[in-house]
Structure 1
C-alpha cells in the first residue's frame, strides 16, 4: 500500500490546468506536452509502418524472440499518439522482453468510427501474416486504446481470423453509451474527468452513429471466442464500470478473464510507474499474465 503516494498523485492530477474550450488541435498539443516522457533506458524506439499506418517499434534488445505486442494508445480516439505513450509501452517492453509495435491509428473527428477499428484490424492482420503462430501475438491498450484492442479482437473474430495469445487493457473505455453507474457515482472522485469530458470525446468519435454497436461498446457485445483477458482499473475513475462490465461480459461468454481493481487510484494509473508503487506492480502483473498466456498457448500447439 502507498496511501501517501496515492494522495500525492490525486492532488497532482487535480492541480493540472483544465481547458474545456480548447480546440482539437490545442487539446492534442497539450496532451503531447503532458505525456512526453521517453521510453525507458535499454528500450530502442524506431519508426515503422503496420497495416498501412505509421507506428513506433519498441525493442528490448538482445534475444527478444518471436513474440510481438500490438499496442493501441489512449486519448479518447481524439488525442494521443505512439509518442505520447512511449514511456508506458516501453515499461511493458522492459518487463516482457518482447518487441512491441504501437500503432498510430487514425483519430477523430477527422476520421470517425469505425476508422480506428479498421486500422487496428489491418495492423493485426499484417502481424498474423508476418508471424508463424498467432499465439506469438498479444494485444494491449489503455483507455480508448483498451476499448479499441477489444474491438479489434471482435472484428478479427468476425472475419474468421485466429485469435492471439491474450490481451491486456488498462482502464478500458468500452461503453460509449455511458450507462455505467460509475459515470455518476465517481463524479468528483475522479481527479481527471467529468462526464462532459467523456461526452465530448464520444461526440467527436461517433457523431450520430450508434454508441451500442459492438465495436464501439465492446462491454455490451458478445465476446465469445476472445483470448484470455487481463483488465486493470483504478477505483477512482468514471470508467470503472466499463472495466467491471467488460469482465462480467467476458466471463458470461466463457472467456478467461482476470479483473484487477486498485483502490484509490485514477484512470490509467500505470502511467505513473516510478511515482506510485502500484503502477509498477500492475505492469509486473501484466507482464506475468502475458508470459503465462504465451506459454500456455504454445504448449497446446
Structure 2
C-alpha cells in the first residue's frame, strides 16, 4: 500500500465533504425522499470537476448499450469501459462524464461511460449484466480485450472488478487492467474502518448506511455474499492487474485493503494508494484538487502501462 502526500485541507476537498453531508440531510432515516430526488442528488457529484480540455463527447445508444464516449483529441490504441458509482441505485454517465474524461485524457484512450440499469427498478444482477454486455460490445467494435481496461468508482469499482471475474469464470479473455476509485467491495459493512473512520466519512458514516441499500439492490436469490457483488468472497486468482485508490477518511477503506491482501496472496498484481484525509471518490474534484489530479494521473499511467497504449 502506498500513502500519498495529501492536500485534503484544501477548500475544494471540504466542499465535497459538505456535499455528502447535504445528501445525508436530504435522506433522513424514515423519510423516503423518492428515487428521483436521490438520483438528482447523486448527479450533483458533477459540479466540482472542470472540463477536461481537448476531450469531446458523443452519445451512445446501440444494441442495448447506452452511455457517452469521452474522446481525447488524438487517442492511442485501446479503450476504457468506465462504470459509474451511486450505490447501484443512482449515478449516471452524464453525472460522471467529466471525471471519466479526465481519466480518458490521462490514459489517452477513449472511455465509454456506461449507463446501466439501476435498482430498485432493476435489482442486481442487472447492473452486472449491462456492464458485461458493454464489454462485449467494445470487443464487437474490434477492440482486443488485451487493449481494454475497466475502470469504475464506488459501486462502479465493484462492477469493474465483477466484469473481469465474470469473464474469468466463463473462460473468456480478460481485460488488460482494472482501476477502481473507492470501490464498494465491503458490501456487508463489516470492515474495521467502519469503526475507525465513522466520525470522518461524510457519506457512509455508519454501517446502517450500507445495510439499508440491501433491500433496494438485491435481486431474487441474490445475497450480500454473492461473489460478483462482494469481491471479498470471490476467487480472485487470475485477475488482471488492479489499481485501487481510496481516501483515507473512508469507512469503505478496509474493504479495499482486504481485497488487496486477498488478491495479492492469489498472485494478482495490485496497487493500493491511499490519500490521507480524503473522502469517497475524491477524484470528482478533478482539475481543482491536487490529490484528485495525482490519482487520475496514476490511473492514466496504470492503464497505459497495461494496455500498451
Using the size of structure 1 for normalisation, the TM-score is: 0.91
Distance 1:213 1:78 in 2: 18
CA distance in 2, matches of 1:269, 1:51: 33
Runs ≥4 in structure 1, deviation > 4 angstroms?
A: 36-39
Give the conservation status (yes or no) of the 8 Å contact 2:104–2:110: yes
Q: Determine the C-alpha separation between the residues in 2 that align with 1:33 and 1:276.
A: 17
> Over aligned residue pairs, what C-alpha RMSD do you find?
2.0
1:189 is displaced (CA, Å) by 1.0
- The equivalent of 1:2 in structure 2 is 7
State how 1:75-90 maps to structure 2 within 5 Å. 75-90=86-101
Match of 2:3 in 1: none
More displaced, 22-31 or 127-136?
127-136
Q: Does 1:54 align with 2:66?
A: yes
Find the counterpart in structure 2 of residue 210 from structure 1.
223
Q: In the alignment, what sits opposite 1:74? A: 85
Partner of 1:229: 242
1:245 to 232, 246, 258: 258
Deviation at 1:210, TM superposition (A): 1.2
Gaps of 5+ in 2: 1-5
Deviations 1:86-137 (A, max 9, x none): 1110111121111110111110001111111111111112222323522111
Corresponding residue of 2:131: 120
Equivalent position of 2:277 in the other structure: 264
Does the CA contact (< 8 Å) of 2:50 and 2:288 recur in 1? Answer: no
State which of 211, 214, 217 in structure 2 corresponds to 1:199: 211
Normalised TM-score (structure 2): 0.89
Say whether 1:278 aligns with 2:271: no
Structure 1: gaps of 5 or more residues: none
What CA distance in whole angstroms lies between the structure 2 residues aligned with 1:58 and 1:235?
29
Higher deviation after alignment, 34-43 or 20-29: 34-43
8 Å Cα contact 1:109-1:204 kept in structure 2:
yes
